Structure 1
Amino acid sequence: MPVHVLGWKDKLNVQRWFDDAMAEITQNGTTPVDRNCDDKFGQGYINRWKASRKDVCTGGKSTFTCYEHPPHDHGSNIGSLFCTATNLVLAKTEDFLGDVLTKGARYPTPKKGSAQVACKLNVPWSRDQVADQHSDRWLHDALDEVPEAQLDAACSDPARTVDYPVYFVTRMDPTNAFHHFEEVVNFFSALLMYDDKELLKKQGITIVAFDGAPKGFFLELWRRIAYPYRIRFLRERPYPENTCFKQVLIAAMPHRSLYTHFWPGQRTGCRSAVMTGVITWAQELMSDARPEAYSWPDGQHRQNEATVVGRVTWVSRKHFETANRHSFTSWQAQRVIGNEDALVPRLAAAVQEWNSRSCLRNPGGGCRKEPVYFEFGTMELGDHRWYPDQLQILARTSVLMAVHGAGCFNEVWLRRSTSTMIEVLHNSAGNHHYANIAAMIGLPYIDMGSAHDPDTLAARLTQAMDETAVRMAAVHERKMAADKDAAAMLRGG
């Protein structure tokens, strides 16, 4: 397990990444916070969620508390619901999972009493209000109150007691990067709200998925979050009967995360301290897949130390579309671009044309002075493992180009300071998922609308390389200067 990425006790100090994001957004406090944006996507978002605390049970030796984020354009349903509990007993895993085990269902169908607390239950929400988050499966189906003596029998037995915190999560669609990362965002937000942060830093937390979904894209990321514990897929590794959990966190369902709470049909343009923080944190957790994790062998870097190598990556769906063309929904079918065989060579040519005008290649009057050149490559996400294959390519990408779809979500793995996202909204106008995420994290973003003519896209790519190269060169120059200063200090010492 690559614990060198982050010390396991430090990685759950999510407040650090949130505070760093606030410092970036406010220019270390010199720029006022946009209160509207902060209320929706920053500290105000966390404050409003935390202020809505309601107790599901009172008195006795257990607690069960939930936090309801205020709704936004969701009718009578509540917003996201995150819950915590102490001294909760899982009576029998098989009774809790139900159809997940017997019928291979995606979501559990728990029996009453499969989750137990020793306190007086008073559920503040109706089943309809929480049904679309599947919180009803806990609050209305599984949870039941038991005598304190029954709780004591389970919680006093070390063989049946889990002392460290456990995060229970129901995953909606872990085969979709956009939706799967919503679970990560909700986890990060939950830890910002969680009162007992010191316990997490001392003991860590394990992840328990209590669904029938596939394991999904970000399994390695979840492994690193859970370390030193193992992730537990409850359908594969049931707990013993009457297992007592001292500290439980129960996730909000992912389709009510921060970046979908206000609907992707609305363009926000807001910076988000929460989203910026969680992206920086996730990149840090996976930093061994990034190029900067590897040092140059002695002498090699000095040959071309001023040169900056970028990459333009076109995210293709051609293999997927060919294999599944007869089973597409109407929504999937209308997003297919039919001219990719002509488009990709034109984009590759645009990159070579751009490189040829650099002073690195053709010194002389009028050449481009930034010491940057770009490689070009296509990437079919379904042909590569997320870790390490996809991440290593994405981490070297300076300009990411993709047709609207979950592949665009990989913009979150780019370096914000030296990268650009170009989205082709082919027959997908009005879907601002990735424009909003780019705005939240401060990533330059280009909306190509439905334009997919090769020459039009090549021209816009050229402009993007012009703009991105300036930022890449400036960052590299600062890094070289810092390295020289550090070397000089060592020599002086």
Structure 2
Amino acid sequence: MRSATFVGLMARCAQSRTQRKGSMAGTAVLLILAIIFIAYGTTPAMSANVTAVRYPVPSHVSKWTDKLQVDKWLDAARAELTKNGSVPLDSSCDQRFGMGYLQRWRDAKKDVCTSGKSTFSCYEHPPANNGQNVGSLFCTATNLILNSNDFLGEVLTQPGTRYPTPKKGSAKVACALRQPLPWARGELEDSHTDRWLYGALEAAPEPEVMDACSDPRRTVSYPVYFVTRMDPTNAFHHFEEVNNLFAALWMYPHKELLQQGITIVAFDGAPAGFFLELWRRIAYPYRIRFLRNRPYPPGTCFKNVLIASMPHRSFYTHFWPGRTTDCRSLFFSGVMQWVHALMADIRPESYTWPDGQHRQNDDTVVGRVTWVSRRHFETANKHTFTGWQTQRMVGNDEDIIAALSSAVMSWNARSCLRDPGAPNCRKLPVYFEFGSMELGDHRWYPDQLMILARTNVLVAIHGAGVFNEVWLRPSTSAVIEVMHNSIGNYHYHNIAAFLGLPYHDMGSARDPSVIADQLRQVLDETAQRMVEEHKRKAAAVAAGGPEATSTLRRLRG
């Protein structure tokens, strides 16, 4: 509309100018300007089969050239776990939760296509400690024809349907399909890959497939990641999908193609969720595509496809129910280093400030205690809760907040910062702020992450909110989990162990004074580590070491 208005104005101006002066040159100049304006406003940023992002991302993401080469983050995790090679990896832990885990998944490859111009292969997730876990398959394909609407089925025709109900032949490949398939349909129960292998996939004549795949107007040439999301509103389950993507990028045999980037396509009826900023950065320069809203034209050929494995049968499920581990995980540490780098503008590993931007009290170390409240969420939704959700409600949130706040204030009062002359005052130059955060009241980015990035002690009732421990810094932080009516669900204990984060289990204690006593003890331990880390970084900055270089600059380098 604005382009048309501009052209009209320019034309009238040109006509007036010509009538007044008879100047053809003036008309030509103005018309050239109009053409330039139209071209700038309407020309796609990239080729026809690319949907490019038209809203800004942080510069460290837009300039990041090897974002999808995840080996560097596994190398960084190895350096951390081995203290730069000075101590060996625990071989048992690495086999279960590190490179052994990834290698077993990669080595469990089975081909669905036996011959032809297309390929379709799947990698079977390693079995869990508590039984066979067939069904979590990561698959790759080349030269795959998709009819989006036929694949989605009831996701389009029956609002509220979460998962696709594909029509046979909605996905086609130019190859002979293995008969029988490597997995019985029952083995793939609860996995979206049964929808591909048994619901949608069909062999098609080679000319039909290759005609589409040789037509640039019908072909998506860059890698595409198809994901069926389980619960994008739940931090725990959402991050299973991030784990699976990281593993998929490591296993993918054509890593050179990832230099083009990868676009994320959601094959489900789930809501958008709360964590799209992370996926936006992963997908850049492409846009996230929700297939139900923006289906591809019928008969679109995808040259290179990655099909995500399903959450709830993943890395996490090795420890549920009732299983714990104290292992560090090279795999999960690598995932989190990658994710922290993606979100480094809001959650940097270290802060640096321009010359002159000093605090008046540079030697003071300020920490934060964050209580993750669920009161608003529980009040609004208690009439729709399942029995499992109802039994996890504590009912005395305000009493807990008051007790924790009082514990922090009394801890601070014993500091020599407050009264240097007091007998037996605490000499550590540390004090803590306290805050309560209802996650649902804040956007994940940037609001939640801004608070979590400054948190040193996270206190929460068992639930997906505890998963936010992954944003803490293990060297200066700790987590306290109140396992209210949730004994045996040790997900967050294990995740803390993977990252080397101090973890404290309160059992089903809901007495505010008991939780407050535990907090005081954790503050003593955490404050000591905070001072040590503060001194280390100050010494590094004074010496002009790595801490003197901004995190974002190091990422780009």
Greater CA drift, 325-334 or 269-278:
325-334
Q: Aligned match of 1:102 in 146, 157, 172? A: 157
For the pair 1:15 / 2:71, whether they are aligned, the reply is yes
CA distance in 2, matches of 1:398, 1:344: 17
Q: Match for residue 323 of structure 1? A: 380
Aligned mates of 2:346, 2:220 — CA distance in 1: 33
For 1:289, give the aligned amino acid: I
Q: Given the alignment, which residue of 87, 91, 99 partners 1:35?
A: 91
Contact 1:71 1:79 in 2 (8 A): no
- Map 1:246-325 to 2 at 5 A: 246-290=303-347, 295-296=352-353, 298-325=355-382
Q: Counterpart of 2:329 in structure 1: which amino acid?
A: S
Q: How far apart in 2 are the matches of 1:209 and 1:477?
A: 46
- The answer to which of 41-50 and 27-36 deviates more is 27-36
2:59 is aligned to 4
Q: What does residue 46 of structure 2 align with? A: none
> What is the alpha-carbon distance in structure 2 between the residues aligned to residue 292 and residue 271 of structure 1?
19
Corresponding residue of 2:429: 371
The CA deviation string for residues 233-253 of structure 1, in whole angstroms up to 9 with x for no partner, is: 000111111111111100000
Deviation, 1:324, is 1.8
State the shift of 1:131 in Å: 2.1
Residue type at the aligned position of 1:214 = P
**Contact 1:426 1:451 (8 Å CA) reproduced:** yes
| Identical pairs, percent | 67
- Whether contact under 8 Å (2:135, 2:193) holds in the other structure is no
- Contact 1:398-1:418 at 8 Å conserved across structures: yes
Q: Among 264, 279, 288, which residue is 1:231 paired with?
A: 288
Q: 2:148 — aligned with what? A: 93
Kindly provide the amino acid, as one letter, of the partner of residue 44 in structure 1.
G
Task: Find the partner of 1:440 among 471, 475, 498.
Answer: 498
Structure 1 position 261, deviation (Å): 3.2
Among 81, 85, 93, the alignment partner of 1:25 is 81
Deviation track 1:353-386 (CA, whole Å, cap 9, x = no partner) reads: 1111122222134222222111000000111111
Structure 1: distance between partners of 2:348 and 2:329: 26
Contact 2:58 2:345 in 1 (8 A): no
SS at match of 2:217: helix
Deviation at 1:210, TM superposition (A): 0.5
User: What is the rounded CA distance, in whole Å, between the counterparts of 1:481 and 1:137 in structure 2?
Assistant: 57
Correspondence list, 1:390-401, <5 A: 390-401=448-459
Q: Which 10-residue stretch deviates more, 34-43 or 309-318?
A: 34-43
**Residue identity opposite 1:355 in structure 2:** N
Find the counterpart in structure 2 of residue 172 from structure 1: 230
- 1:9 Cα deviation from its structure 2 partner: 2.3
Paired residue secondary structure (1:188): helix
CA gap of 1:95–1:74, structure 2 versus 1, over 3 A, is farther
Query: Could you say which structure has the larger radius of gyration?
Result: 2
Q: Amino acid of the residue matched to residue 375 of structure 2? A: K
Tell me, which stretches of 5 or more residues in structure 1 are unaligned? none
C-alpha separation between the residues in 2 aligned to 1:72 and 1:295?
Answer: 43
Distance (whole Å) between structure 2 residues aligned to residue 287 and residue 265 of structure 1: 35
Tell me if structure 2 keeps the 8 A contact 1:272–1:441: yes
Q: Is the 8 A contact 1:83 1:251 kept in 2?
A: yes
1:475-490 → structure 2 map (5 Å cutoff): 475-486=533-544
Secondary structure class of the residue paired with 2:189: helix
Counterparts in 2 of 1:156 and 1:291: CA distance versus 1, 3 Å = closer
**Aligned partner of residue 236 in structure 1, secondary structure:** coil
CA distance in 2, matches of 1:178, 1:58: 37
State the shift of 1:44 in Å: 0.5
What does residue 203 of structure 1 align with?
Answer: 260
Alignment of 1:154-173 (within 5 A): 154-173=212-231
Measure, in 1, the Cα distance between the counterparts of 2:211 and 2:226. Answer: 23
**Structure 1: how far apart are the matches of 2:539 and 2:71?**
31
- Matched-pair contact (CA < 8 Å) for 2:340–2:348: no
Aligned partners of 1:372, 1:298: CA distance in 2, in Å? 24
Amino acid at match of 1:317: R
CA positional deviation for 1:264: 4.3
Secondary structure in 1 matching 2:358 = helix
> Scaled by the length of structure 1, what TM-score is found?
0.95
Cα distance, 1:76 vs structure 2 = 5.8
User: Quick check: 1:180–1:217 contact (8 Å CA) kept in 2?
Assistant: no
User: What residue identity is the alignment partner of 1:222?
Assistant: W
Query: Residue 300 of structure 1: CA displacement?
Result: 4.0
Distance 2:58 2:436 in 1: 32
Which digits, 9 at most, give the CA deviation of each residue in 1:79-135, with x for residues without a partner? 521111111111x21101000000021000111111111011012111111121121
RMSD: 1.9
Counterpart amino acid of residue 333 in structure 2: T
- Matched residue type, 1:50: R
Q: Letter of the aligned partner of 1:125 in structure 2?
A: W
Instruction: Tell me the SS of whatever aligns to 1:109.
Output: coil
The answer to whether the 8 Å contact 2:126/2:133 transfers is no
Aligned length: 488
Q: State whether structure 2 residue 467 is matched by structure 1 residue 412.
A: no
Determine the C-alpha separation between the residues in 2 that align with 1:190 and 1:292: 26
Q: Partner amino acid for 1:167?
A: Y
Matches within 5 A, 1:451-490: 451-486=509-544
The normalised TM-score by structure 2 is 0.84
Q: Does the 8 Å contact 2:116/2:176 carry over to 1?
A: yes
**SS of 2:312's equivalent?**
helix
Q: Deviations over 1:307-363 (max 9, x none)?
A: 221100000011111122222211111111122222211110111111111222221
Partners in 1 of 2:354 and 2:76 — Cα distance?
A: 32
CA distance 1:220–1:168, shift in 2 (3 Å)? same
SS in 2 for 1:289: coil
Cα distance in 1 for partners of 2:131, 2:538 equals 54
Letter in 2 for 1:421: V
* Contact 2:373/2:436, CA 8 A, preserved across alignment: yes
**Given residue 208 of structure 2, which amino acid in structure 1 is its aligned partner?**
Q
Q: Distance in 2 between matches of 1:160 and 1:293?
A: 46
Q: Does the aligned pair in 1 maintain the 2:319–2:490 contact within 8 Å? A: no
CA deviation map 1:397-420 (0-9, x unaligned): 000000001110110111111110
1:70, 1:420 → 2: CA distance? 31
How far apart, in 2, do the equivalents of 1:205 and 1:2 lie? 16
Distance across 1 between alignment mates of 2:153 and 2:419: 68
